[in-house]
Chain A
Amino acid sequence: MWQLLQIELFKIFKRPRTYISFAAIAALVGIIQFGLKLDGNMYIEFMLRDLSASFSIEGNILNGYLVCYIILQLLLVHVPLLITLIAADLISGEANMGTLRLLLTKPVSRTEIILAKFLAASIYTIMLLMFMAILALFVSMAIFGTDDMLNLKSGYVVQLKSSDIFWRYVCAFGFAALAMLTVASLGFFLSIFAENSIGPIVATMSIIVVFTILSTLDIPIFNKIKPYLFTTQMIGWKGFFDVKVNAENEAIVGSIQNVGRVLQAAGILVLHIVGLLVASIVVFKKKDVLS
């Protein structure tokens, strides 16, 4: 199994397209950081305009923690597309090149092959997220410094103490890993049905785009189906950046406003991953590779 995994990782990291994702993330994060460094105060003024009407706010508002939050908010919608490029190609790419039959002649079970490929895709996904975390969090902290973080929500503002933020990002990236693995599982599952990579990549992207639009639209008729869409649960990482308050409306340091809801979202994503992986094994075991 370990040897299979090594082979799959070698295949993934040998392809130039694998590095497109890393380059794209580096470019996007760099552009956002550059823009915010030059003109970030305008963005902050816009976001704080309601609060500034009644309050004077002092401190390093546009600090590394807030910049990372802005980057994650913008990028975690688009990173799935980059993950799809690899995950949706894992089986269909082999089928297209004709190496799938050869692979299945080896003395390993189909389940092992699927598991090795999925594990390789997972490692790639986590590496991409870690790369993003280093650029978005640590580089932003170096450029913009650190301070308390103001999380500007639609109905209220959450002030997080600087000492109470880092662990939230660790959890948020962990949650984001689950969200991205769900995308990888979907792309991987769809790749079993195709003989070339384009079909499953486009299909996965289409599903994500449609589901994301349905998740963000605030129209009552769509609100009923939102909880069933994995894209709704994918933004659950934001739940780590809201805190509980005590009877005097004082934020409780180290708390999470709704742990249950965040765990529920994480559970739904895990169910998606397990479900899609099991479905992939079942379908692949029955797949006719002779055609």
Chain B
Amino acid sequence: MCPNCSNYRSIVASHSLAGGSLLSLYSNTKLLLIFIQAQIIEMKKLIIVLLVFIVSGVAASAQDASALIKRVKAKLDKVNDYVAEGSMKTDVAFIKAPAGKIKVYYKRPNQFRIRRSKGISILPKGGISFNMSSLLSTESFTAIPTGESIINGTKVKLIKLLPNDENSDVVLTTLYVDEANLLIRKTNTTTRENGTFEMEMNYGKFADFGLPDKVIFAFNTKNYKIPKGVTMEFDTDEPAKQNMKNRKGKVEITYSSYTINKGVPDSEFK
């Protein structure tokens, strides 16, 4: 039994003993109203206290998220530039491409270029040149923590990055941050121009620099069609058509070596 309720009952009991029936009813109602008002004031206080707790909690979490991002960024900032070698596999429903060797060039803050060592390169527009350093190169975003998850057995924190610049191509980025190692394990980015894409990173010997050994880049593709009258093709394409259902494209880059902070000329990015 709550203490307020027992107070109310004792007050009502004393008044009932003291007065007549009509007077008693009037005073009882008045007392009830006083009691309800007191209860409302109590509840308001409680709500205010709760709100203060929640707001301060969220602010503290947001601060934690920003601090975590800053720590990750500080790790990535150890790399001013790099030249990486590796191989690239393209898995798009309407493209039959062989795996090829590539060279990747990066220079702070956001210069990034993938070049196929030999032959023609077909790369998804915009998104593939997206890398963690360039994403975090600007301070103008708001970090919001949204929970925790597990990726390949590693506990990660989910942080949503909202760019403060209204004209930014990136609308929203979700980072899956491995707090223990200060590594970004996965990102999910929505852009205005190039749709939504997902990057999954696996780390190995270059984890100290925040550089992945393997990146899997997934993106949505548009339709591809040329009229048969133009191509005049021989009818051997039936088996290939069976693989055309999946409209999600994937590019897998496996890095074999990094040359870090040895300088990269600007001409490599032209």
Residues of A within 8 A of B (CB): 47, 50-51, 53-61, 73, 147-148, 150, 152-159, 161-162, 164, 216, 218, 235-239, 242-243, 245, 248-253, 257-258, 261-262, 265
Cross-chain contact A148 with B119 (CB below 8 angstroms): yes
11 contacts between A and B (CB under 8 A): A47-B230, A54-B124, A55-B124, A58-B120, A148-B119, A157-B96, A159-B98, A161-B119, A245-B243, A249-B96, A257-B236
Contacts of B121 in A (CB 8 A): 57-59
Among listed B17-25, B85-93, B179-187, interface-contacting one: B85-93
* Known A-B contacts A154-B233, A155-B224, A250-B91; A51 and B122 likewise in contact (beta carbons under 8 Å): yes
Cross-chain contact B223 with A157 (CB below 8 angstroms): no
Cross-chain contact A249 with B91 (CB below 8 angstroms): yes
- How far does the Cβ of A226 sit from chain B's closest Cβ, in whole Å? 8
- How far does the Cβ of A268 sit from chain B's closest Cβ, in whole Å? 13
In the bound complex, CA of A280 to CA of B63 (Å): 92
Cross-chain contact A249 with B118 (CB below 8 angstroms): no
Q: Pick from B115, B227, B231, B239: contact of A257, CB below 8 A.
A: B239
- How far does the Cβ of B169 sit from chain A's closest Cβ, in whole Å? 15
In the bound complex, CA of A58 to CA of B121 (Å): 5
Q: Pick from B221, B225, B229: contact of A218, CB below 8 A.
A: B229
In the bound complex, CA of A109 to CA of B207 (Å): 84
* Known A-B contacts A235-B234, A251-B97, A253-B98; A258 and B119 likewise in contact (beta carbons under 8 Å): no
Contacts of A55 in B (CB 8 A): 122-125
Contacts of B125 in A (CB 8 A): 54-56
In the bound complex, CA of A180 to CA of B123 (Å): 40
Q: Quick one: closest A residue to B221, CB to CB?
A: A54
Cross-chain contact B237 with A159 (CB below 8 angstroms): no
Cross-chain contact A50 with B226 (CB below 8 angstroms): yes
Q: Pick from A157, A248, A253: contact of B89, CB below 8 A.
A: A248
Contacts of A47 in B (CB 8 A): 226, 230
Cross-chain contact B225 with A159 (CB below 8 angstroms): no
Q: Quick one: which of B120, B228, B243, B249 has the most chain A CB within 10 A?
A: B120
In the bound complex, CA of A236 to CA of B124 (Å): 32
Q: Quick one: closest A residue to B227, CB to CB?
A: A154
Closest 6 CB pairs of A and B: A59-B120, A148-B119, A258-B236, A238-B234, A159-B97, A156-B94
Is B151 engaged at the interface, CB distance under 8 Å to the other chain?
Answer: no
Known: A154-B226, A156-B237, A242-B240. 4 other contacts (CB 8 A): A51-B122, A148-B119, A157-B224, A258-B238
Q: Pick from B94, B118, B232: contact of A155, CB below 8 A.
A: B94
Q: Pick from A159, A164, A236: contact of B95, CB below 8 A.
A: A159
Contacts of B9 in A (CB 8 A): none
In the bound complex, CA of A241 to CA of B163 (Å): 47
Contacts of B98 in A (CB 8 A): 159, 161, 164, 250-253
In the bound complex, CA of A253 to CA of B94 (Å): 17
Is B241 engaged at the interface, CB distance under 8 Å to the other chain?
Answer: yes
